[in-house]
């Protein structure tokens, strides 16, 4: 049993950046997914400024608290968390992109030769 605990202690430092990156990805998905949701709700609201400002405060406070909790006083964990956050931004942008509109034929293609 002690051998397993010693092995787990040896592996934990290796997985800290990976876990920090996953936590950063979760924070990024929450932040940018919340931004997308706010943009959709705020545009249809009678009080869009309240939606956008309230969402900004909530999303920023969650993200900063998460960064602080994950990183502690370790710069490498902060960097991994930030990397996960940026990767989540790219993923959320790709997932929330509107579908491409059908290609319209050019003016020349509508004329017969």
**Position 101 confidence tier, pLDDT thresholds 50, 70, 90:** confident
pLDDT in tens, 35-55: 999 999 988 889 999 999 999
- Is residue 54 in some structural domain? yes
Whether residue 101 lies inside any domain: the answer is no
The burial class, CB within 10 Å (0-12 / 13-18 / 19+), for 101 is: exposed
CB 21 within 8 A of CB 81: yes
Question: 74-91 burial, b for 16+ CB within 10 Å, e for fewer?
Answer: eeebbebbbbbbeebbee
Q: 63: domain range?
A: 17-96
Contact between 74 and 80 (Cβ < 8 Å): no
- Whether 78 maps to a domain, the answer reads yes
pLDDT-derived band at 9 (thresholds 50, 70, 90) equals: low
Say how many domains are in the chain. 1
42 found inside a domain: yes
């Amino acid at each position: 049993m002690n051998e397993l605990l010693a092995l787990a202690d040896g592996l934990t430092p290796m997985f800290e950046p990976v876990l920090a990156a996953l936590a950063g990805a979760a924070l990024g998905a929450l932040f940018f997914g919340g931004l997308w949701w706010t943009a959709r709700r705020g545009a249809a609201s009678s009080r869009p400024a309240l939606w956008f400002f309230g969402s900004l405060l909530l999303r920023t406070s969650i993200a900063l608290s998460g960064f602080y909790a994950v990183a502690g006083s370790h710069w490498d964990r902060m960097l991994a968390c930030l990397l996960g956050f940026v990767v989540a931004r790219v993923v959320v942008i790709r997932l929330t992109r509107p579908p491409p509109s059908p290609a319209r034929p050019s003016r020349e293609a509508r004329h017969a030769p």
